[in-house]
Amino acid sequence: MQSSITQFFKAIPTNKNSQTSQIGAPQTCTPPSKRKKSNSSSSGSEKQKKSSQSITKNVKKPKIQKSISAAIQEKLGSSDEEELSSKHNKNLNNEVAQSGTDDEECSTKNLKKKRVILSSSEDECEINDDTNRTVHEKKDNTNKDDSPNKLANCNKKPVEDKSKPAEKNVFSLFATSSNSKDTDTSVTPYNPNKDNYHPIKHACWKYKEKVPYLALARTFEEIEKISARLKIIDILSNYFRSVMVLTPEDLLPSIYLCLNRLGPTYEGLELGIAATNLMKAIAQSTGRTLSQIKSETQTTGDLGLVAEQSRNNQRTIIKPAPLTVRGVFEKLKEIAKMSGQASQTKKVEKIQAMFIACKQAEARFLIRSLAGKLRIGLAEQSILQALALACATTPPNQEYPPKILDCSKASSFKTNYDNLALILKTSYCECPNYDLIVPVLLREGIEKLPEHCKLTPGIPLKPMLAHPTKGVQEVLSRFEGAKFTCEWKFEGAKFTCEWKYDGERAQIHINEKGEAYIYSRNQENNTSKYPDIISRLNNCKTDQVQSCILDCEAVAWDVEKKQILPFQILSTRKRKDANEAEIKVQVCVFMFDLLYLNEHEGQWRFATCFDTSTMEEVQEFLEESVKGNCEGLMVKTIDKEATYEIARRSRKWLKLKKDYLEGVGDSLDVVVIGGYLGKGKRTGTYGGFLLACYDQENEEYQSICKIGTGFTDEDLQTHSEFFKAHIIPQPKPYYRYDNSHLPDHWFDVVQVWEIKCADLSLSPAHKAALGLVDPEKGISLRFPRFIRIRDDKNVEDATSAQQVVDMYNNQDQIKNQATNSNIAEEDFY
């Protein structure tokens, strides 16, 4: 392994006695209350003009685009609302509904008393009498792609009883309460959660029409209601099937909106919209005050729900064009790219323009997307699985109308589905860029992805991770007994041990143009964080290297003493746009794998390594690594099956840390889901926290322990201030916990902590790995203590339920529960 790297890269020596060497020297929308009357003939229909005339019979006519609340306040002052309603209804009762207008049809029978009701729906008007009701629907006179009647299936919902008295508020003349629904019973609302779903008949748009954003919002609504992973995958796959058949060009923006991203992670395109600006946009768009929005958000804990309720309470006279998936995605990208002094104002205006066009659940999920979290428990692995299921059920590369709509009844379906899912996940791990994957998938199918989406310099892949072990003997027994080494005898087993450095994973890419990039383990672009590494690259590679991908670890480095410094010092470096001349914390890069070289898959210091096959030598090397300020050892096979497995936590790599000899082998990375208010000297902060592991199979966070030790007073203050901004009113449906450990406050899942414990035990109160070891008990941690925050990990990278089971079974006191025959490679993380 080392010999292949040294052919093309050279270490920069520090001194002749050292075994290793250093890398080197250090559409603008005006608020409703301020709009002016439009003179355009297309700005309103005859119906709108007649409604306006009748409303203003006793009241001076407000400007047509002013908000309802502003018009009432301006023209009528503080008149009693009941009096207003009485006058309004009296005027309306004197009006005669007209038919045959330019943009709507109306037919009525046996009308005894005509009364116009303005509903919350922007697509129809109802005329009711004692026994009859007719529904007026607008004809299609707008843009072909975005016309309201083509989105009929999406917009309609069952009729709600109108007999209940309306709530008293300033909007009562013109808008119904937030509980009102669209009123058309003739069409079933779009619902991807149907049995025997038909991708054409059950869709709410037609062939080549843009996908309405409301269809995606309805899909999110259905997903939010449930927590079962397989059902979530099924619902999302139905939506994807319709998109692929009817409007395949909208598949890519649909995927990104499901992920709540604007592009590949490494491109770093983020919205960066502050909650205050979102509240301001909602308030200005609905005529409400900022204090009202803030108050309701604190009560509900969800700005998206507040936005939806506020928007549904609003009645606009001039109906904007419906939102589409493609349009929303492009506008979000425009917002993200805005910069400069006036950028925040421009962003608010752009958000207002979209928000005014929202219907029903669109407002909820638009605001959540802008805030950075959909909050529906939809993980990327489920999105990939749903995409594979959609392709297996309805193959994408067909002409319209497709001959094959549903393959799910075929005998070979399960095998084909599993194969497609594996190909898709593997291709994404090697080339995590949907901009490249989706066009190939639509054009040639998933089967052809490996031919086009390969390891490419400039596109970071998900790194291989190692499985934890408890001690030296376990390392050797695993290599002896696991399937891939089953023919090896202990004396003949060959493997290498490398020091495990306590730093930050650095995946370094050099393309054929000589451009260099550095990515984190989560594919974030860290190039601007490490300009000092970039400047040294040319001194480290030979002339033979044209392009390459290197897997490395960057650690803080004492240049004078030639020693590794603690991780905490490395974490003080500036995260972005660092100036090399101003850098105070120097780094050294340790390279341990060459993944790609010159179009072939396959201050520098090479990782200190030692090839061995004896337990005594491993023990000695472990002690040396600890003395060298490292975490421990990485043990890798160097003979058979010595492969680099992208995005897998593989048992072909094992990590042996210094802490492993102190009880539990590895530390755990857990997610904080709740807080307990402090008492005594901890009053005013959180005195303890509820922690959870992540169950990848069910995509839920399972409680694993309550922690209150390992914190300094400064830690508690910092954690309290941080989590106060992430309090939610109630636990998410994908939290599993016991009522005996209810926290004072629930938190959204936003941060990962590294913790240590004395051991693991079965627990009736905690839900970690529930049913995997004991059918009625989960696993909990005894005497947990806080180590540090893991900013380099996403919440879905937390220790999995299966890893918790492995750690539990590896304890000395647990006999005959974890055997080599039960060892299996884990899926992609």
End-to-end Cα, the chain, rounded Å: 25
Pair (406, 420) in one structural domain: yes
Amino acid at 7: Q
Q: Map residue 728 onto helix, strand or coil.
A: strand
Residues 358 and 507 in one domain: no
Residues 303 and 232 in one domain: no
Give the DSSP H or E segment for 86: helix 81-93
Identify whether the C-beta of residue 497 lies closer than 8 Å to the C-beta of residue 609.
yes
CB atoms within 10 A of CB 762: 15
Q: Which residues contact 197 (CB under 8 A, 6 or more apart)?
A: 238, 241
- The CA radius of gyration of the chain, in Å to the nearest whole number, is 31
CATH number for position 245: 1.10.3260.10
In a domain, residue 165? The reply is no
- What confidence score (pLDDT) does residue 87 get? 42
Note the pLDDT of residue 462: 81
Interatomic CA distance for residues 154 and 239, integer angstroms:
13
Whole-number pLDDT of residue 264: 93
pLDDT value of position 469: 64
Query: For position 20, which CATH number holds?
Result: 3.30.470.30
Query: Domain count of the chain?
Result: 5
Residue 308 token pair: 């939806």
- Count CB neighbours of 733 within 10 A: 13
Please report whether residue 138 resides in a domain. yes
Q: Considering the domain boundaries, does residue 170 fall inside one? A: no
Residue 29 lies in a domain: no
Total Cβ atoms within 10 A of residue 405: 18
The H or E element that residue 344 is part of is: helix 343-356
Q: Catalytic residues, which ones?
A: 489
What does the pLDDT read at residue 328?
Answer: 97
What are the φ and ψ backbone dihedral angles of 760, each rounded to 5 degrees?
A: -115, 145
pLDDT of 170 reads: 32
Q: Is 778 left (phi over 0), alpha (psi -120 to 50) or beta?
A: beta
How many angstroms separate the CA atoms of 714 and 721, rounded? 11
Sign of the CA dihedral with 654 first, then 588, 533, and 526 last: positive
Q: How confident is the model at residue 246, as a pLDDT?
A: 97
Within 10 A of 681 (CB to CB), how many other CB atoms are there?
A: 10
3-state secondary structure (DSSP) of residue 807: helix
pLDDT at 445: 95
For residues 389 and 356, state if they share a domain: no
Looking at the structure, do residues 401 and 518 belong to the same domain, yes or no? Answer: no
Q: Which tokens belong to 145?
A: 């792609």
Tens digits of residue pLDDT in 214-267: 999 999 999 999 888 899 999 999 999 999 999 999 999 999 999 999 999 889
Q: Which alpha helices (H) appear in 615-774, and where do they start and end?
A: 615-627, 713-724
Give residue 829's pLDDT. Answer: 60
Query: 265 Cβ partners below 8 Å, 6+ apart?
Result: 432, 522, 523, 524
Residue stretches of the chain with pLDDT short of 50: 1, 13-152, 156-188, 481-493, 603-604, 661-664, 815-825
What pLDDT does 498 receive?
Answer: 81
Residue 181 counted as domain residue: no
Of the candidates 585, 806, 606, the residue with the CA atom closest to the CA atom of residue 9: 606
Q: Note the pTM of the prediction, 2 decimals.
A: 0.62
280 plus 254 within the same structural domain = no
Phi-psi bin for 599: left (phi > 0), alpha (psi -120 to 50), beta? Answer: left
CB neighbour list of residue 422: distance below 8 Å, 6 or more residues apart: none
39 Cβ neighbours under 8 A, 6+ residues apart: none
Q: Are 232 and 308 in contact (CB under 8 A)?
A: no
- Residue 421: the pLDDT is 94
Q: Does 704 map to a domain?
A: yes
Residue 12 pLDDT: 58
Partnered with residue 674 across adjacent β-strands are: 690, 746
Q: Do 290 and 349 share a domain, yes or no? A: yes
- Antiparallel, parallel or unpaired: β 504-510 and 516-519: antiparallel
Among residues 329, 344, 371, the one where a domain terminates is 371
pLDDT of residue 520: 93
Residue 478 lies in a domain: yes
User: CA angle at residue 181 from 361 to 131, to 5 degrees?
Assistant: 165
Q: Report residue 248 as tokens.
A: 């395949």
Which helix (H) or strand (E) segment holds residue 759: the answer is strand 759-763
SS3 readout for 254-299: HHHHHHCCCCCHHHCCCCCCCHHHHHHHHHHHHCCCHHHHHHHHHH
CATH of the domain at 756: 2.40.50.140
DSSP state of 738: -
400 exposure class (CB count in 10 Å sphere: 0-12, 13-18, 19+): exposed
Cβ atoms of residues 462 and 646 within 8 Å: yes
Which domain range does residue 325 map to? 275-371
Identify whether residues 443 and 558 lie together within a single domain: no
